[in-house]
Amino acid sequence: MNASDPANALLNYGYAILESECRKAVNSVGLEPTVGFLHEARQTKYPLVYDLMEPYRFLVDTTIVECLDSQKFTKKDFYRTDNYVLRLRPEAACKMVDALRTKINSTVRYSNRFYGWDTVIRLKLQELGNFIQGKGSDLSFDEPPPILSRQASTGIRNRIVSLKVAEARSLGIGKSTLRYLQKRVRTGKPLKTYRPILNKLQN
């Protein structure tokens, strides 16, 4: 896909995984993938699959942002082809699959129940099929809304580890909060900070 840098190489691979997920959903529901609404119909292309990808691209985008923030990938995970295109090595591709699979399998509340995003994609296609056949009067891809919370970056993690109690107090961060954050960082666990705390750390 002519990626010239690691971020775009990851995006290309991530979107290919999402395309596969959407293609499976289209096939499972029984809709015709070559007939879409937004994308142009061309030979060997599947417009409906690409249409379905649009509301769920955030799954790939947020996964890659988190991977880059946590330095999950290094320069050794990529290589250049003879025509200078950047590609993922097999080990890096496995890491990308695992990270995106975790995101796709994460649950979200929809219609008073909790589903994985892969199930939500299939349910939305079923709703589309019912709408096309006149069996449903409402169709919206706004629900459930995307979850866009972002984990703390490497810079914020380093800031937390180096922060002294006195300095934290001057920023309005309590001693117990600081200890909790530092423990999460040192054990390598996911770290999500509330916006007020994040602003204090950044300032």
CATH code, 62: 1.20.120.920
pLDDT of residue 43: 57
The answer as to whether 148 is a domain residue is: no
Tell me: do 127 and 168 sit in the same domain.
Answer: no
Q: 3-state DSSP call for residue 201?
A: helix
pTM of the model: 0.72
Q: Are residue 95 and residue 34 in the same domain, yes or no?
A: yes
Whether residues 128 and 159 share a domain: the answer is no
What is the pLDDT at residue 160? Answer: 87
Where is pLDDT greater, at 136 or 99? 99
The verdict on 30 and 113 lying in the same domain is yes
Question: Which pLDDT score, from 0 to 100, does residue 44 have?
Answer: 60
My answer on whether 122 and 169 are in the same domain is: no
Domain shared by 115 and 45, yes or no: yes
Query: Same domain, yes or no, for 114 and 33?
Result: yes
2/87 Cα distance (integer angstroms): 9
Residue 69 in domain = yes
pLDDT greater than 80 at residue 197: no
**Position 35 in a domain:** yes
Closest to 107 measured CA to CA, from 119, 98, 99, 97: 119
Do the Cβ atoms of 47 and 35 come closer than 8 Å?
Answer: yes
Give the span between the Cα atoms of 37 and 15, in whole angstroms. Answer: 19
112 and 187 part of one domain: no
Based on the structure, what is the number of domains in the chain?
2
**Pair (116, 52) in one structural domain:** yes
Q: Are residues 82 and 169 in the same domain?
A: no
Interatomic CA distance for residues 188 and 139, integer angstroms: 42
User: Does a structural domain hold residue 142?
Assistant: no
In this predicted model, which residue has the larger pLDDT, 188 or 48? 48
Work out the mean pLDDT of the chain and round it to a whole number: 86
Same domain? 159 vs 72? no
Distance between alpha carbon 182 and the CA centroid of its chain, in Å?
A: 26
Domain encompassing residue 31: 6-132
pLDDT(149) > 80: no
**Same structural domain, 122 and 164:** no
Residue 58 lies in a domain: yes
Does the residue 143 lie in any domain? Answer: no
